[in-house]
Structure formats: C-alpha cells, structure tokens
Structure 1
C-alpha cells in the first residue's frame, strides 16, 4: 500500500470510531449496556482507544478486528435494544464474519446470541451509594461511579463522608478528585457548591457530609435511603466496628474495601461472589493483592491442581508509610518509602483461602514495598499436581483471559516490553506477563501485574453491584 492508501484507511477507521461513540453512550445511558472489545471497555473511550481495542483482537485471533466489521453489528445492536448486559462486540463480530460474507444475517445472528438480554422490561431503581472516606480508593470509586451515570445506572453516588470541615476543605476535596498525579485529570467538569456543601461532577450532585463517627449521621436528611455504605477508611475491619454504619438512619448495607477480620465474608468478584446473599449486610471486598492473585490461582487449581506455593508481592508504597524516616508502629515501615525497598508482611496468601477454601494452608507469602506510586507485581511460585510446560501453560492462561468466567478479572500480555507504568488504569484484577512465565514439569512461576488502585476499585464496583442485586448478563455466552 502507498502512503496515501495507509492514510486513507486510517481516516476511514477513525471516522467509524467517531460514529461509534454516540451509539455506545446511548446504549449505556438508556439501556444499561456496556460495550467491550475482547474485554476492553468502550464506554467514554476516545476514538484512538476504540481503534486500539480492536487491535487487541490480534493477540487472540492472529489478526486485528477491522472496525468496518464491528460497526454494522453495533448499529444493529441499537435497533434490537437489549438491556442490563455487558456485551463483547469484538467476540460477536469475529464470530459473525467467520461464517458470513455480508451483512444480511446480522440481526438474526444478534437476536440469537443476545436473547437473554432482550425483552427484559424496565430496569430496577438505582441504589444510593455513600463513600465513607475519600482517600485513594474513595476518589477512584467516585470516578468509576460518576462515569456510569445515566437513566440505566444501577449505582448512584449520593454522598461522601469525611472528617474535617475546616475552611477550604471542600475545595481541597474537589481538587483531589479533579487532579491525580497517578491517574491523570478527571474526565469531565467539577463544580463546588459551598452553600449546600456539595461537589457537582458531570452533573452528579454529591453531598459532602462531615462526621466524626458513622452513627452520628442521618442520611435521610439528605434524601438518601437504603444506602450502600462503602467504607474505604480502613478504621474498622470487623463486623462489630462496621456495624456502627448500620446505626445511621438511611444506611442498609456496608462494604469494606480492605480484608475483613473474623467470620466476615471476604469476596473476590469472579471467584466467590455467589456467596453474597440479599440478607448480607456487611461484606469485605478483600485486598488488592488478594483480588489480583486469587483468579489466577483458581484457574491454576481448576486445571493443574496446586500442592503448595509461595506468593511474593512487589508492591508500590502506600500512604501508611513515611516519606522520610520517622516513627512507625510497624516493623521497617518507618523507613523512607521513596528511598528504600522495604520488606514487610502480607496476609494476601492466607486470605486467598477465604475466597478459595481448597487452597487453605497451601500458600505462604511476603511483600516488598518499592519506590513506585502505583502498580504492583505478584510472583506466584507453585508446585502442581499435574505437569506442564511454558507454552501449554501460557496457552491455557490466554484462553482463560478470553473465554473463562474470569475473563473480566484476568488479562494476558505477550509483550516483551511491558513495564509497571503500562498497567496504570487497567480495569482487570491482574495481568499475566506471559513472557516471564517459567514452567517445568510440576513446577511453575507466574508473574501477575496489577494496578493496586484502579484495578482493585473496579473489582469493588463489581461487588457493589452484586450487593445491590444487579444482575448483568455477560454476552455472548
């Protein structure tokens, strides 16, 4: 192809990507449909991101998906008007064009593939959400909830609760939501309503409530009722402490964004979210590391069986460490986080057993905090009940990332140039770095990257939806 042909082809693809954007937005806002391409979400995606998502198909199919092939299916989707589903447009397009040579059969094909999401009637009323705490995870949860606004939105962010209330506090909170040194600028506009003590983000009115303890709050005074309270402070870790939230008028359920203590259910979405019942009022979404490693460990256990293993996490520093050497109650954590690699402990390996009981007592773990602000790496060293080799193991993990029930949790990379910053903003719980895989007979070592902030927050939102009773079809099956 000549230079002109390359440029013309690119411009044609870009125009189709631009035409896709309003269709994708309309499907989400009006029907509760989330469009993906091989797991890459297209909602609020730029034209370039849409084109890049189509190129990801090459990793699994050997060639990229032409947007000229996916666009007519997206148009037909809008006409069929499915509801409450996550639909992988990439898988539908690849499947259709594998067996068809023209567009004449698209509607019938989609009607068959999307039957569970057709004719479902009215969508359920949204659940009020309160973020108790507004730190790293709280602000990312706010971003995720705000981007999902629309008539079909199942989770409605109504308020955040923080300590303080001093002059200038509201503007500071809004500024931290607007700008983030790791995740970049907020995608939209943010206003501050000083008179009503609120932040308005992309039209979402978020009441800012100042309180010293959960039981002091009357949410109904703000028009909030039967709310899901998402505690991201880490102050309370057991059911007794978290039950203080349920003493507040208007609060119905509590989700902890940290490992829960005692008999509390620790949920890793995709692995054991079915343990959540309508009667559960207090749930833990476990830790970022537990969410990253448990899906991979589950698929390994299902296929090969795990005799025992060790998990070493190379983890970015967090806010509980010191910038420079100072007193800290934890061993070694008082030393400068930005100048040292710091050995510490992790409960993630033992916590896996709460979501995957068959691995109880089979895993050990340690952690090394390193001088990076985000994205961590789990090194999983396993002794297996069945032997394998590197090629077979990678092929299995790639297939799990594409078509297993854990395809939203496990991503797969074949790049030889991958580094930690490439995973910032990943919506997967973990990303298998296949180029680092070691496998010989009954022993293997897996390297799993994870955005310990954003990827974990996406898992938290999935648990929130389950607690709110949201049933979202995952299509095509």
Structure 2
C-alpha cells in the first residue's frame, strides 16, 4: 500500500472518530435542551432529539441537499453548546440554518453568542408559554400504536400534546399485556425504543414515564374522561367507524372531551386536510393551533 493510500485511510478514520466524539458530546445537550427547556433542535427540518450517534452523523451528511455547502458537526456543535447557556422559551431551533448563516461570515466560533442573541431574539426571555393539551386515542390499531410512539417520543416541556388515555374494546384477562406487546413490536416499524410497564391494578400502561390510562368502552357515550382527571381533551378517532359529523359528534358529547380529530377520510361535511393544500383550515378552525409557539412546534410534525 502506498503512502498516499495510507494517508487517505488515516484522514478518513480520524475524521470519522472526530465526528463520533462530537456527536457523543452533543447528545446529552440535545436531551437537556428538550427535557429542561422544551427546545427541539432540528437540522434542516430533521429532529436531533433522541437521535443516535450514527443518526446525527448521517443527518449532517444529508445537509448538502439543503445548503450550498455541507454543514458538519464541527460547525453545529459549538452552536448547540452555546444554546444550553441561553434562557430559551419552548420552541424549535434549526441549527443547520443557524450554522449556514453564521459560518458564511465567520471563521471562528468566538462570535456565536452574540449571533444567537440576535438570531433568537423572539425565543430568549419570552413570556410566551405552551400549556399541554390532553390527548385521548380512540382505538389502538396500527395507527393508534404509531401515534402513541410519536406522542411519547415527543413528550416533554413545551410540547403541546400530552397522551393521557387510550380507549379500546375488550377488557379480558391478559388484554393489557397483549396491547403492550403489540406496542413493543411492529412488523413494519420495528422494535419500540423505550420502556413499557403494565399496571394491571389501575388498567394503565407506563410508556417512557408517560402514564396512559386504558379505558374499556364499546362506544363514545360510555366514557367520562373527567373520572380520570382528563379535561378539554383532543380525541383522535383512528377506528374509522365514525367518519361524519353526527358520528364524530358523539366524542365531543363525552365529559372531558372538546375536539375530535379523524385519521380516516371524512364523509359529508367533514373536511379532509392535506398539508400544502388546505392545511390553513387547521389554523382557522382549531384554537389549539392558533398560538404562535404551538404553530412553530407542530408545523414540521403535520
């Protein structure tokens, strides 16, 4: 092997090791920003919360598709390190965009603090807050289980949705264990990355620290959510049984429920929402989405 080949091998190995070291160093910072301050860090729209070391490296490599120059971890790491020092209100921060702007006019990291104070003015020392909205999943098929994964993964300070209960039929012996097993393993989406505990005495699942009440009922009229401390809930109907206003209205008539979201195509006067086509309808008709902080947090989730 020639000296040039050895040199290239060492260069790539050293760069990979440096990327791994930096990715490992920012992982706890990303967690702290989200858990303690409700700040979700993105890289050109892709979340870095709960990302693995390899995920962080791969996401940085894909940044070349979103910027004229590739943004690397050596450029984003000092920005993330500085974010942890700022008094931020709950929000989404795209470090890819910040890094592109900063390094276009700077050669060192010495001015990052001043740059962030200017770029993130609206998110620093803001009195704006987000009150978590109770969510109830009506049905626990594949869509229900995937929604559970998403809501649990995103749970934390500043996130506007909090999964409180799941309504299902049944209630036979062993039902909770069966549903926990289905949540743990999905034939398409794979293993659930987290902890699932079963509370048989109180009919609940504890998923990554989220206490989720399992409510057994055959119809919406059988449920009183206030019995479980749930109020003003957003009910997500993923059964497909009721798809018109009259049928879905049964959910709103329940004690403790105020809005219903349908995951199947609607019938009659129910509007079907397609992001990029008529998603503005959500902002106009749902008070939950009218808060600016909530819009910023959810825009990339829709």
Per the TM superposition, whether the score is higher than 0.5 is: yes
Number of aligned residue pairs: 291
- How far 1:213 sits from its partner (Å)? 0.3
Query: In the TM superposition, what are the counterparts of 1:144-159 in structure 2 within 5 Å?
Result: 144-159=150-165
CA–CA separation in structure 1 for the residues paired with 2:225 and 2:63: 46
* SS of equivalent residue, structure 2 residue 173: coil
Tell me the equivalent position of 1:473. 296
- How far 1:468 sits from its partner (Å)? 8.4
CA–CA separation in structure 2 for the residues paired with 1:95 and 1:151: 28
| Distance change in 2, residues 1:262/1:468 (3 Å) | farther
Tell me, yes or no, if structure 1 residue 80 matches structure 2 residue 92. no
CA–CA separation in structure 2 for the residues paired with 1:48 and 1:81: 29
- How far 1:125 sits from its partner (Å)? 2.1
Tell me the equivalent position of 1:420. none
**TM-score, with structure 2 as normaliser:** 0.90
Give the conservation status (yes or no) of the 8 Å contact 2:90–2:130. no
CA–CA separation in structure 2 for the residues paired with 1:44 and 1:241: 38
Tell me, yes or no, if structure 1 residue 128 matches structure 2 residue 134. yes
Tell me, yes or no, if structure 1 residue 176 matches structure 2 residue 182. yes
- How far 1:168 sits from its partner (Å)? 1.4
- Provide, for residues 20-45 of structure 1, a one-character-per-residue CA deviation record: whole Å limited to 9, x for no partner: 11111111122222211112210100
CA–CA separation in structure 2 for the residues paired with 1:467 and 1:191: 35
* SS of equivalent residue, structure 2 residue 129: coil
Q: Which range moved further: 155-164 or 112-121?
A: 112-121
- Provide, for residues 349-390 of structure 1, a one-character-per-residue CA deviation record: whole Å limited to 9, x for no partner: xxxxxxxxxxxxxxxxxxxxxxxxxxxxxxxxxxxxxxxxxx
CA–CA separation in structure 2 for the residues paired with 1:94 and 1:122: 27
Q: Which range moved further: 265-274 or 82-91?
A: 265-274
Task: Give the CA RMSD over aligned residues.
Answer: 2.1
Query: In the TM superposition, what are the counterparts of 1:342-421 in structure 2 within 5 Å?
Result: none
Give the conservation status (yes or no) of the 8 Å contact 1:154–1:470. no
Query: In the TM superposition, what are the counterparts of 1:64-463 in structure 2 within 5 Å?
Result: 64-121=70-127, 123-276=129-282, 280=286
Give the conservation status (yes or no) of the 8 Å contact 1:84–1:473. no
Whichever structure has more helix as a proportion of its residues is 2
* SS of equivalent residue, structure 1 residue 73: helix
Give the conservation status (yes or no) of the 8 Å contact 1:85–1:472. no
**TM-score, with structure 1 as normaliser:** 0.58
Tell me, yes or no, if structure 1 residue 53 matches structure 2 residue 59. yes
